[in-house]
Amino acid sequence: MEQVIMNQLSYPILSTVIFLPVLGALLILITRRSWELLTKWIALGTSILTFIVSLTLFTDFDKSTHKMQFAEKFSWIPDWNIYYFLGVDGISVLFVLLSALIAILCVLISWDSIKTKVKEFYISILLTTSFMIGVFCSLDFFLFYLFWEAMLIPMFLIIGVWGGPNRIYAAIKFFLYTLVGSVLMLVGIIVLYLYAGNTFNILDLMTKTYPYNMQLWLFWAFFAAFAVKVPMWPVHTWLPDAHTEAPTAGSVILAAILIKMGAYGFLRFSLPLFPEASKAMVPVMLTLSVIAIIYGAVICFAQTDLKRLIAYSSVSHMGFVTLGIFALNTQGIEGGILQMLNHGIVTGALFLSVGIIYERTHSRLIADYGGLATPMPIYAAFFMVFTLAAVGLPGTNGFIGEFLILLGGFTANKLAGVLGATGIIIGAGYMLWLYQKIFFTEVNKKVMGLPDMDIRETITLIPLIILVLWIGIYPNPFLDFMHPSVQHLLERVNTGGVQEANIAKTIMEVIR
Amino acid sequence: MVPLSWYMVLSMVVFAIGVFGFLSRKNVIIMFISIELMLNAVNINLISLSHYLQDMRGQILAFFVIAVAAAEAVIGLAIIIALFRNKATVHVDEVKEMQG
Amino acid sequence: MKLYLLIPFLPLAAFVINILLGKEVLRDKAHWPSVLAVVGSFIVTITSVLPQAMAGKVINEDLYTWMLSGTFNVTVGFLIDPLTAVMLVVVTTCASLIHIYSVGYMHGDKGYYRFFAYLSLFTFFMLMLVMGNNFMQLYFGWEGVGLCSYFLIGYYLNKKSAADAGKKAFIVNRFGDFGFGIGVFMIFLTFGTLHYVPVFANAAGIAGQTVNFLGWNVDLPTLIALLLFCGAIGKSAQIPLHVWLPDAMEGPTPVSALIHAATMVTAGIFMVARCNPIFNLSEVAMNTVAIVGAATSLFAATIAITQNDIKRIIAYSTCSHLGLMFLACGVGAYAAGIFHLYTHAFFKALLFLAAGSVIHAVHTNDIQEMGGLKKYMPITYAVFVIAALSAAGIPGFSGFFSKDEIIWSAYASHSSVGKLVWLMATAVAFLTPFYTFRLIFLTFHGKYRGGHHEESHGHGAHHKEHHFHESPKIMTIPLILLAVGAVAAGWVGIPPILGGGAHFAKFLEPVLGHPEFHGTHAEEFGVMGLSTTIALIGIALAAFFYLKRTDLPKKLAEKFIGIYKISYNKYYIDELYDFTIVKPTMWIADKVLVAITDAKIIEGVVNGVPGAIGKFSEKLRKIQTGLAQHYGIFMAAGAFFTIALVLLLQ
């Protein structure tokens, strides 16, 4: 029990953050269908309240330890040794915050664009938020799996009910893809449960060692679940469809949080539970990551649909994340975590931005735009900042993440680092190409005279702009969260092996 | 004294007739009677073994089987009547609503 | 109070003010914050930083920790040594004058505030670039100036060619930065830090080490130096990444003067000079720098002689001069390279601004449409000639001293390619005056040749000759000040042989070292005399072709149509890249990845597996006949086999 710090606050903060949105959803459930405005305000109020409560995590987090903090533990199903066990560490805490923030933005951006089944929509959004936060906080595998799967249901509804014309296909594809992966993970979880003496406690499981062959099998079982979520090449094809068909809020949740869970899963489970298998699989994972980076980037050039392009760029960016994680060194993993956060912010922002013009033109075709900077200059400026962050320009958050990842990747494997870096060139190519097509050149008739962003839309994007620049200029407050946890993780991975292969130090010693 | 094996053989023959009847006849009533035959074959088995082993439990179980068979006969006949009312037939190969 | 912090952060403040208030509040006064900020930076540089650097004081201070991850630790920090001081002088002087000039040039433009905001942001990034004390900050400024260059090239939003050019500049530079970035990684892997001072202090220790890079065993210093040089090639528009610079002329002319002549494009030379401890370790890298520089110099000069766009000619001239600077660095004469950077900033900015003044008046870029402008624009003409003489390296003008020093360094250095690049540089010394004066003669002399397209574009009537007039004072005064620089800036570096003290090189010696030359005074005079004579011949030839026998160029072009076409079409490099990189990428994206890999292979598997299962169950469901007797048979058979199995196994 010494590996966690129980919650010292006067209230169970993690449970509050998880269940406040559920409470909001229940409130919405009992409001009358015709009171749409009240529904919206309840959703907005709940999500803002959740975020405010979660801010305590940011301020009160003890950055000097890798231990799980704000932990809560209650026996839940004693017969099977299942606990209601929550806690966050430096790897997960930032995602809790990001999820809470994204929920607010999703409510805001859907204010006018969702016109049918308003009540159910906001209930779905709030439930998704709750389950997502639950995934990041769970320290019991049973609870984790519950949240992990539960999240699919509201997400499935969001895509399938409020999506575009091809929504049913996309929703089912999304659901099946992720479910197939998850089921394999479930098998893995049960194997672990039985092997480790009937416990679902993730922290206990992490202290045990497993035979190499078992690690290998379980690694792939978990890989199936996480790789689909990330999504890694070649199981990425659900993402463009899901993103394209989902309503704006759905795309934002997908891009910002949901696909982070795959990478989070690698960090939280695959690496510490199966360290030997992870190390053995590094070449495979690096190869897949590099393919994803280049493949996802090149394929963007052939896209005609705005959201599809951003979706494919996500594949490329998440390739960076997995590259960093499987570099298995401090820079790579910290860069990976930061890049997950960055990608959530930037791609989330890009989807929000696309939603803003989609509401005006109802077209996702790139060819329908052009010269948009003339009627909508403020919008163009915002979009430019996000484009630059996506391109990884120094001074924006994208740069910090990508630089650390590539540095880590390069340290681990020079070829992977070099090939990964080509993704940055191609990235600049397609993002600027997109920007030019939409904002520059002659003004397209279809966009002439469009109103610029209103207050609500501006407010939606401003927090993200602030984060982009903040992390870009002064990333240390965020990196500080990770140091002990990442160090601890690496120790676990490298136990028995050589300490983090710090080539730099070795060479310095040779020189002296 | 009739040896046990005779009872066994009788039971087996009756059971086999029941199985054959069930599988080969199209008339649902005959099939039903075949099922009864199989049940009674089991009863013969139970009682003869009960007597042979001097254990009353076999005979008690036989009573159960008779009771269940009676209940089953009631339900089965009710179904057959319902079937006949709806389909005007008692031939099973004309009833294939469940075909995949 | 660290006064030097004002230098970069004043322009940043101006940028923020302009972005927030420029559109609604400041409007046509948007130049005030930017101009005041940059002039402020200039004053701080001259009054505080320069005297300190003169006194031999080096500032190396960290502001705050930027990134910390494991052993990787970089700060935002400042290093001010003589090299930085020189760069600061160049940047703030040129930026101040060009800001002021822009007030006149951009007057009345609808994106006025935007222009000044970008210009300030650019100044900020450029200053961060030269002032940083580590490679990360260099990279920060490096990418930042590239970004502003992108914004400013594409300043005319609705013009497709401008947007294309901006994008091209950004992406071509990314190719260079790719190498540069990997170079930075290598530095971190080798030295464990990215700060200049420890890296350069330990640089000597890696001499002769080899490292396995992607399967090849290569010399470590060579590898690092060449990777860094990749970045310089991109930013300073050297072969093979020079293609973006001429296109970048789509931007407003002050931008071309500031970014694409005086400051940003020289960042590559600055970086190579800054990293001289690493470059010095590798002869291969040094020779590469020298050869690439010399080749670009010659190559760009041969293109410049056939171009007709006034700004593109100057752009190619910039490429050529940048090549000369690299040449100097490549033979070890870093101080000569920086010296040329410094003089070049003045005369090239002047050339651009004067060209801008011309364009402002005649509203065209095509020199074939100009002519005879001398009498309408006397000041512009005068400064243009001064700049051209300086660029041509005519004795007495600042360009002469720096160019001569480079040529002499090439001749006298120990470098194994020294003599070769000296020959190439001498050829450039002939071509530069030729194309510069061709430009002058076609623009200012002879008769006005424009105006015959007037019917085709309706409002052209006011472009008629008698409407030409000199630019307003706010534009001509910066021109005159820059002209003073173009003449006199070089006087700080007059070589000892001409009675000077070579103060410039001495000032930089602590950072850049002192190259060892072998050569007599007689040789030095000979080299100097040769290049000067050749330059004069170049001018004379230009005068002969474009003043006396104006029919001759056309005839020559027709006679040597092959060579002319190659030069006119810039050696078809753009077409080559289009054909080998751009088109195949697009093709692969569209025809292979989308059409085959994603749609056929991956989706084939994804949709194929459920499809196969579906087909199988289609077959399987036939078993369910709906006949109770069939089920009975299965049950009986199953029971039979099970019992049989059990019995057999016993």
> Same structural domain for residues C469 and C538?
yes
Spatial separation of the C-alpha atoms in residues C299 and C74, rounded to whole Å: 39
Angle at CA of residue A154, ends A150 and A155, nearest 5°: 100
- pLDDT tens for A371-419 read 888 888 888 888 888 988 888 888 888 888 888 898 888 888 888 888 8
User: Most C CBs within 10 Å: which of B34, B94, B99, as the mutation test of the C interface?
Assistant: B99
Domain ranges, ordered by start, for chain A = 281-512
Lowest mean pLDDT among B15-29, C233-247, C511-525: C511-525
Spatial separation of the C-alpha atoms in residues A200 and A89, rounded to whole Å: 18
If you count residue pairs, one on A and one on C, with CB atoms under 8 Å apart, how many are there? Answer: 166
Measured between CB atoms, which of C624, C628, C636 is closest to B100?
C624
CA distances from C341 to C162, C267, C336 (A): 27, 10, 8
> Same structural domain for residues C311 and C405?
yes
> Same structural domain for residues C325 and C357?
yes
Measured between CB atoms, which of B19, B24, B92 is closest to C628?
B92
Residue B1, chain C, CB below 8 Å: the answer is no
- Assigned domain for C612 exists: yes
Look up the pTM and report it.
0.81
Q: Which residues of C touch A374 (CB under 8 A)?
A: 157-158
CB-CB contact of A275 with A493 (8 Å): yes
Question: Chain B: residue nearest C634 by CA?
Answer: B23
Spatial separation of the C-alpha atoms in residues A151 and A229, rounded to whole Å: 12
Q: Which residues of B touch C623 (CB under 8 A)?
A: 100
Taking 50 as the pLDDT cut, the residues of chain B under it are: none
Specify the residue for token string 């509050």. A16
User: Most B CBs within 10 Å: which of C617, C624, C627, as the mutation test of the B interface?
Assistant: C627
Q: Which residues of B touch C622 (CB under 8 A)?
A: 100
Is residue A504 over pLDDT 60?
no
List all chains that touch chain A, counting a touch as 3 or more CB pairs closer than 8 Å: C
Subunit contact B100:C626, Cβ cutoff 8 A = yes
Q: For the residues A480-487, what does the mean pLDDT come to?
A: 86
Pairing of strands C210-213, A68-77: unpaired
Residue C625, chain B, CB below 8 Å: the answer is yes
Spatial separation of the C-alpha atoms in residues A10 and A23, rounded to whole Å: 20
Phi and psi (nearest 5°) for C192?
75, 10
Please report the pLDDT score of residue A1 as a whole number: 42
Subunit contact C629:B92, Cβ cutoff 8 A = yes
Q: What is the mean pLDDT of chain C?
A: 83
Please report the pLDDT score of residue C363 as a whole number: 79
Is residue C461 over pLDDT 60?
no
> Same structural domain for residues C583 and C548?
no
Question: Chain B: residue nearest C617 by CA?
Answer: B100
Higher-pLDDT residue of C369, A258:
A258
Pairing of strands A68-77, A4-6: parallel
- Assigned domain for C32 exists: no
Please state the domain count of chain C. Answer: 2
Q: Which residues of A touch C150 (CB under 8 A)?
A: 432
Please report the pLDDT score of residue C460 as a whole number: 43
- pLDDT tens for A205-260 read 888 788 888 888 888 888 888 888 888 877 888 888 888 888 888 889 888 888 88
Please report the pLDDT score of residue C471 as a whole number: 78
Please report the pLDDT score of residue A500 as a whole number: 38
Please report the pLDDT score of residue B100 as a whole number: 63
Q: Which residues of A touch C585 (CB under 8 A)?
A: 298, 301, 426, 429
Q: Name the pLDDT band for C352 (thresholds 50, 70, 90).
A: confident
Please report the pLDDT score of residue B48 as a whole number: 92
- pLDDT tens for B51-76 read 999 989 999 999 999 999 999 999 99
Subunit contact C629:B95, Cβ cutoff 8 A = no
Please report the pLDDT score of residue C467 as a whole number: 66
Spatial separation of the C-alpha atoms in residues A162 and A249, rounded to whole Å: 10
Is residue C442 over pLDDT 50?
yes
Q: For domain B4-87, is the CATH number 1.10.287.3510?
A: yes
Pairing of strands C210-213, C72-80: unpaired
CB-CB contact of B33 with B80 (8 Å): no
CA distance C579 to chain B (A): 59
**Residue A425, by phi and psi: left (phi above 0), alpha (psi -120 to 50) or beta?**
alpha
Subunit contact A410:C171, Cβ cutoff 8 A = no
Is residue A496 over pLDDT 50?
no
CA distance C466 to chain A (A): 34
Q: What is the mean pLDDT of chain A?
A: 85
Phi and psi (nearest 5°) for C61?
-135, 145
Subunit contact B22:C629, Cβ cutoff 8 A = yes
Domain with C608 in it: 573-649
Q: For the residues C402-407, what does the mean pLDDT come to?
A: 86
Question: Can you read off the two tokens belonging to residue C563?
Answer: 């060579």
Cβ-proximal residues to C27 (8 Å cutoff; 6+ apart), any chain: C112, C113
Spatial separation of the C-alpha atoms in residues A112 and C313, rounded to whole Å: 54
Please report the pLDDT score of residue C459 as a whole number: 44
> Same structural domain for residues C484 and C361?
yes
Q: Name the pLDDT band for A111 (thresholds 50, 70, 90).
A: confident
Specify the residue for token string 């952060």. C9
Spatial separation of the C-alpha atoms in residues C89 and C45, rounded to whole Å: 7
Cβ-proximal residues to C271 (8 Å cutoff; 6+ apart), any chain: C138, C142, C228, C231, C232, C235
Q: Which residues of C touch A424 (CB under 8 A)?
A: 174, 177-178, 181
Spatial separation of the C-alpha atoms in residues C432 and C302, rounded to whole Å: 9
Q: For the residues C15-27, what does the mean pLDDT come to?
A: 80
- pLDDT tens for A260-275 read 888 998 888 888 888 8
List all chains that touch chain C, counting a touch as 3 or more CB pairs closer than 8 Å: A, B
Report H helices in C331-377: 334-362
Please report the pLDDT score of residue A502 as a whole number: 45
Lowest mean pLDDT among A189-193, A457-461, C102-106, C571-575: C571-575
Spatial separation of the C-alpha atoms in residues C159 and C155, rounded to whole Å: 9
> Same structural domain for residues C409 and C527?
yes
Is residue C600 over pLDDT 70?
yes
C22-25 long-range Cβ contacts below 8 angstroms, 24+ apart: C22/C112, C22/C113, C22/C114, C22/C116, C22/C117, C23/A377, C23/C113, C23/C114
Subunit contact B100:C627, Cβ cutoff 8 A = no
Please report the pLDDT score of residue B14 as a whole number: 95
Q: Name the pLDDT band for C455 (thresholds 50, 70, 90).
A: very low
CB-CB contact of A394 with C143 (8 Å): yes
Subunit contact C192:A505, Cβ cutoff 8 A = yes
> Same structural domain for residues C433 and C500?
yes
Q: Which residues of A touch C121 (CB under 8 A)?
A: none
Q: Which residues of C touch B32 (CB under 8 A)?
A: none
Spatial separation of the C-alpha atoms in residues A367 and C486, rounded to whole Å: 49
Subunit contact B92:C636, Cβ cutoff 8 A = no
Is residue C1 over pLDDT 70?
no
> Same structural domain for residues C544 and C484?
yes
Subunit contact C622:B100, Cβ cutoff 8 A = yes
- Assigned domain for C531 exists: yes
Report H helices in C275-377: 276-279, 283-304, 310-330, 334-362
Please report the pLDDT score of residue C454 as a whole number: 44
Subunit contact C629:B96, Cβ cutoff 8 A = no
Q: Which residues of C touch B97 (CB under 8 A)?
A: 626
Residue B31, chain C, CB below 8 Å: the answer is yes
Subunit contact C69:A500, Cβ cutoff 8 A = no
Q: Name the pLDDT band for C643 (thresholds 50, 70, 90).
A: very high
Please report the pLDDT score of residue A16 as a whole number: 87
> Same structural domain for residues C325 and C432?
yes
Please report the pLDDT score of residue C285 as a whole number: 87
Measured between CB atoms, which of C624, C629, C633 is closest to B98?
C624
Please report the pLDDT score of residue B78 as a whole number: 93
> Same structural domain for residues C445 and C546?
yes
CA distance C184 to chain A (A): 9
CA distance B59 to chain C (A): 25
Please report the pLDDT score of residue C191 as a whole number: 86
Lowest mean pLDDT among A9-13, A128-132, C425-429: A9-13
Subunit contact C627:B22, Cβ cutoff 8 A = no
Q: Which residues of C touch A483 (CB under 8 A)?
A: 68-69
Subunit contact A441:C171, Cβ cutoff 8 A = no
* Cis before A231? omega within 30: yes
Subunit contact A399:C143, Cβ cutoff 8 A = yes
- pLDDT tens for C52-90 read 888 888 888 888 888 888 788 888 888 888 888 888 888
Phi and psi (nearest 5°) for B38?
-60, -40
Q: Which residues of C touch B35 (CB under 8 A)?
A: none
CB-CB contact of A435 with A350 (8 Å): no
Angle at CA of residue C81, ends C80 and C86, nearest 5°: 95
Subunit contact C67:A475, Cβ cutoff 8 A = yes
Q: Name the pLDDT band for C466 (thresholds 50, 70, 90).
A: low
Residue C629, chain B, CB below 8 Å: the answer is yes
